[in-house]
Amino acid sequence: MLKQKISAYSILLGDQSLILGQRLGELCGHGPILEVDIAMTNIALDLLGQARLYYQLAAELSDTYEDEDQIAFLRREKDYNNCVLVEMPNGDFGDTIVRQYLFDVYHLMFLNQLKESNEKRLKAIAEKSIKEVRYHLNFSGDWILRLGKGTEVSNQKIQKAVDTLWPYTKELVQSSELETEMHGFGIAPNLADLEDEYYRQVKSKFAEAEIKLPEDKWSQIQGKKGLHSEHFGYLLSDLQYLQRSYPNSKW
C-alpha cells in the first residue's frame, strides 16, 4: 500500500517539472535574445530530466504504469496533479519570467527539505536536482530585477504578470491529502513550513525590483486534485500528440 502511495507522490512531483518543462520547451527559438533562449531551453531540459527520474521511480513501484513514457504521455487531463501555476501560458517574456521565479523560489526550498526524506530514492533525486534549480532561481531572480528596474514598459509588463499569476502561488505551499500523508511517513516535507519563508523571499525580491504586491486573492482551481485551467488541455494535446497518433513509438 505504501509503495503505491510513494508511486503516486513521485508522479505528482514529476508532473510539476514535466508541465513547466513543456511550457519552456514551447519557447525554444523564440527567446528575446540568443543567450536567454539557450538558457530557458536548458532549464526546460533540466526539468524534463527531473520529471523522468520521478516517473521512473513511480513506474518501478506502480501496478498501473509500465514506464515513464506511459506516465508522461498517456494519462487523461484529470490524472495530472501539477500546480496550476506551472501550466499557465508563456504570454510575453514578463509572464514567462514571473511564472518561473514564483516556482523556482518554492522549488529550491522544497528540494532542500526533500533531501531529508527517509525515502532514499527521492532523497537522491532531490540532491541531484538542487544544483540545477539553484541556477534556475539565479536566472529568474536576476531577470525579475532587470525587468522591474528597467524601462517603464518592462516594469509595466512584469507588474501585469505578477498581478495575473500571484493568485496561483498559494497552491504551491498547501499540501494535498497525499502530501500530508507522505509527510506523516517522513517521506515528504510539510509544505506549510515553507509558506512564511516563501512569501518573505518573494516579497523582498519584488520590493527590490519596484514591483507592487497585488491583493491576496487566491485561485480556487486545484491542480493537485486534477482540476486544471482552460489552458491545460491545449498543452496536453501538444505534449501527447506523437504517442496518441503513433502508439508505442520509440526513438
**Enclosing domain of residue 88:** 2-245
pLDDT at 52: 97
* pLDDT confidence bin for 251, thresholds 50/70/90: low
Is residue 250 included in any domain, yes or no? no
CATH number, domain with residue 222: 1.20.1260.10
pTM: 0.95
- Count how many domains the chain has: 1
Find the angle CA(203)-CA(205)-CA(208) to the nearest 5 degrees.
Answer: 110
Per-residue cell: 47 = 526539468
Q: Is residue 125 in a domain?
A: yes
- Per-residue CA distances from 59 to 1, 44, 76, 78 (Å): 15, 22, 17, 19
CB 79 within 8 A of CB 72: no
pLDDT, tens digit (0-9, with 9 covering 90-100), for 194-244? 999 999 999 999 999 999 999 888 888 899 999 999 999 999 999 999 888
Answer yes or no: is 27 within a domain: yes
- Could you tell me how many helices (H) and strands (E) the chain has, helices first? 10, 0
pLDDT tens figures, 93-137: 999 999 999 999 999 999 999 999 999 999 999 999 999 999 999
In a domain, 251, yes or no: no
